[in-house]
Homo-oligomer: A and B are copies of this chain.
Amino acid sequence: MDETRQRDREGTRRRILDAARRLFTELGYDQVTMRLIAAEADANIALINRYFGSKRELFAEVLAVQGRFPGVLEVPSEDLPRRLAEYVADRLRSDQGSLIMSALVRSSGCAETHEIIRDRVRSAILEPLAARLPGGDAAFRATVATAMITGVSMLSQLYGKGELEAPDREAVVGRLTAVFQACLAP
């Protein structure tokens, strides 16, 4: 052994969790290996399963802790279309995003994570969004808006930030606001 190491159970656990969050967000479930997480966390690979059980359970815990939809929905319902449009427009340019969307986009092809992601999307986006929509068919309208958010995340990940055609931010926000109004209107 090269050097001794501090014994720090909680610290190591957190380093692993942080490393997993970064890697899963950036690369998706399949592309992230246990050895990669261990290296990024500067921890031994066996500790991952000791603390989290399995790769799948680690992924679930990462999503449970960090997979909330960032404070986008906490606005009056009449401001929702514009708020969502701003969020989506910024994500169309910044190339970085919430873990939940990255997980959805990057890990959707993986059967192992399907159920985890599904539950998380429902509890973090679909249901909170539907809950603040007045009028009938709230669940359906929330679904349509979620599809829009998802689709933009998908394309902005497939192409880089610079590669998608987009006019200035105000024009983008304006159009997306109209789209979300069409999605959400009672």
Contact = CB atoms under 8 A, between A and B. Distances in A.
Interface of A: 28-31, 104-111, 114, 117-118, 121, 137, 139-141, 143-144, 146-152, 154-155, 157-159, 164-167, 171-172, 175-176, 178-179, 181-183, 185
A106 B104 CA distance: 10
Given A30-B109, A107-B109, A166 B143 contact: yes
Given A106-B108, A147-B148, A148-B151, 20 more contacts: A28-B109, A30-B30, A31-B111, A105-B108, A105-B109, A108-B108, A108-B154, A109-B110, A137-B167, A143-B155, A143-B164, A143-B165, A143-B166, A147-B154, A147-B155, A150-B150, A150-B151, A151-B154, A175-B183, A178-B185
Contact of A171 (B29, B137, B147, B178): B137
Contact of A182 (B137, B146, B167, B178): B178
18 contacts: A31-B110, A105-B108, A105-B109, A106-B108, A108-B157, A108-B158, A137-B165, A137-B171, A139-B165, A141-B175, A143-B165, A144-B152, A147-B151, A148-B151, A150-B151, A150-B155, A178-B182, A179-B183
